[in-house]
């Protein structure tokens, strides 16, 4: 439950459901899931089997958001290691496939996800992209001081997000911009000490900060203090932090992987995430701009997010799906 209440995407959906007039109970165990809800709404296919069972028992509809790698057949682009669905044990794979097959509605958060979900389930999912509160995440006063990235500093996440390559790229950036500061925001998990040791070994102890977890409401302020936002993931099913940075008017440097090209389009710089030199050059392209140039790039990025990924867009789409399912249930179908 704690993770649901810490992630911007699930926080947004809980807010949407409340605004649509539902009384929302957040549960992460079978016993805590109430009986006879009007509708069940669950995040992540791999964890939605128990909510599906409860919905079937109560003869109520369930919407499952396939929002993560658990419904993607993904292998690491360098090591070939199976990750996401392919890295699950047999029982989790079965639960995921049954959930995707028998839920009343599967919604994925990007067009990129559709192919694998369709392959796993035989069902054609709908796409309801994640969203950004563009009133909250907006340009404002800030120092434009940091080159920033955000993710949990756990080993599996750091490997996926290419955290070590970010640090190695930062070292290369310092050759041209020796006073530049870097920021890695995220829970100090199992990879934290190794990242600190890498930075120290490269002589960057004073150049990179690790503030740890920050409250969701403070993310915008850190972004406003950033010149560049970097996300060089080996795959992404959406990229909420990227979208938030763009909405805040921060130029983004991203990999060409997963859903990122469709999310960012012309609003950012694409790099080879497996090559620190390429990442460094992408960052330097932004840093070479003056303040007006950075503002202009950020304005283009923000306009793209406002047009396509506003909170209101997701709210309308979720409302339409709920109305359809409730109406279908009332007709006995």
Out of 3.40.50.2300, 3.40.50.300, 3.30.470.10, 3.40.50.2000, the CATH code matching 146-308 is 3.40.50.2000
59: number of Cβ within 10 Å? 8
Cα–Cα distance for residue pair 261/252, rounded to 1 Å:
12
Question: Given this chain, do its domains 8-131+310-330 and 146-308 carry the same CATH topology?
Answer: yes
10-residue mean pLDDT series, the chain (333 residues): 68 95 92 93 94 95 93 95 95 96 96 96 95 95 91 97 98 98 97 98 97 91 96 97 97 97 95 98 97 93 97 97 87 60
pLDDT of 28 reads: 85
Buried b (16+ CB within 10 A) or exposed e, 179-198: ebbbbbbbebbebbeebbeb
The 3-class SS string of the chain reads CCCCCCCHHHHHHHHHHHHCCCCCCCCCCCCCCCCCCCCEEEECHHHCHHHHHHHHHHCCCEEEEECCHHHCEEECCCCCCEEEHHHCCHHHHHHHHHHHHHCCEEEECCHHHHHHHHHHHCCCCEECCCCECCCCCCCCCCCCCEEEEECCCCHHHHHHHCHHHHHHHHHHHHHHCCCCEEEEECCCCCCHHHHHHHHHHCCCCCCEEEEECCCHHHHHHHHHCEEEEEECCCCCCCCHHHHHHHHCCCCEEEECCCCHHHHHHHHEEEECCCCHHHHHHHHHHHHCCCHHHHHHHHHHHHHHHHHHCEHHHHHHHHHHHHHHHHHHHHCCC
The residues spanned by each domain of the chain are: 8-131+310-330, 146-308
Report the candidate in 97, 264, 280, 331 with the shortest Cα–Cα distance to residue 172: 280
Angle between the N-to-C axes of helices 8-19 and 311-330, in degrees from 0 to 180, rounded to the nearest 10: 60
171 token code pair: 């070292």
pLDDT of 1 reads: 46
- pTM: predicted TM-score of the whole model, two decimal places: 0.94
pLDDT of 292 reads: 92
228 token code pair: 């560049």
pLDDT of 333 reads: 52
Give the CATH class of 8-131+310-330. alpha beta
Cα–Cα distance for residue pair 180/227, rounded to 1 Å:
10
Instruction: Name the pairing type of β-strands 226-231 and 105-108.
Output: unpaired
pLDDT of 217 reads: 82
pLDDT of 244 reads: 97
């Amino acid at each position: 439950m704690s993770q649901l209440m810490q992630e911007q995407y699930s926080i947004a959906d809980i807010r949407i459901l409340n605004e649509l007039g539902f009384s929302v109970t957040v549960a992460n165990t079978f016993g805590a899931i109430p009986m006879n809800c009007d509708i069940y709404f669950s995040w992540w296919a791999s964890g939605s089997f128990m909510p599906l069972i409860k919905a079937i028992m109560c003869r109520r509809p369930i919407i499952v958001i396939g929002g993560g790698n658990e419904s993607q057949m993904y292998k690491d682009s360098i090591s070939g290691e199976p990750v996401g669905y392919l890295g699950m044990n047999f029982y989790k794979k079965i639960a995921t496939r049954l959930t995707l097959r028998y839920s009343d509605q599967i919604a994925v958060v990007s067009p990129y996800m559709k192919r694998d979900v369709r392959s796993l389930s035989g069902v054609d999912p709908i796409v309801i992209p994640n969203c950004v509160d563009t009133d909250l995440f907006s340009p404002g006063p800030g120092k434009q001081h940091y080159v920033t990235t955000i993710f949990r500093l756990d080993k599996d996440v750091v490997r996926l997000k290419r955290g070590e390559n970010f640090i190695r790229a930062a070292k290369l950036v310092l050759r041209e911009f020796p006073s530049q500061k870097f920021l890695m925001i995220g829970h100090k998990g199992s990879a934290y000490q190794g990242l600190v040791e890498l930075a120290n070994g490269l002589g960057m102890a004073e150049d990179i900060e690790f503030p740890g977890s920050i409250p969701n409401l403070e993310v915008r302020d850190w972004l406003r203090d950033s010149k560049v936002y970097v996300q060089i993931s080996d795959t992404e099913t959406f990229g909420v932090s990227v979208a938030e940075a763009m909405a805040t008017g921060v130029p983004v440097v991203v990999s060409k992987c997963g859903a990122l090209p469709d999310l960012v389009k012309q609003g950012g710089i694409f790099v080879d995430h497996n090559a620190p030199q390429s990442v460094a050059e992408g960052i330097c392209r932004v840093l070479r701009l003056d303040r007006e140039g950075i503002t202009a790039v950020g304005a283009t990025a923000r306009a793209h997010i406002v047009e396509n990924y506003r909170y209101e867009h997701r709210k309308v789409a979720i409302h339409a799906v709920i109305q359809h399912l409730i109406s279908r249930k009332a007709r006995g179908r």
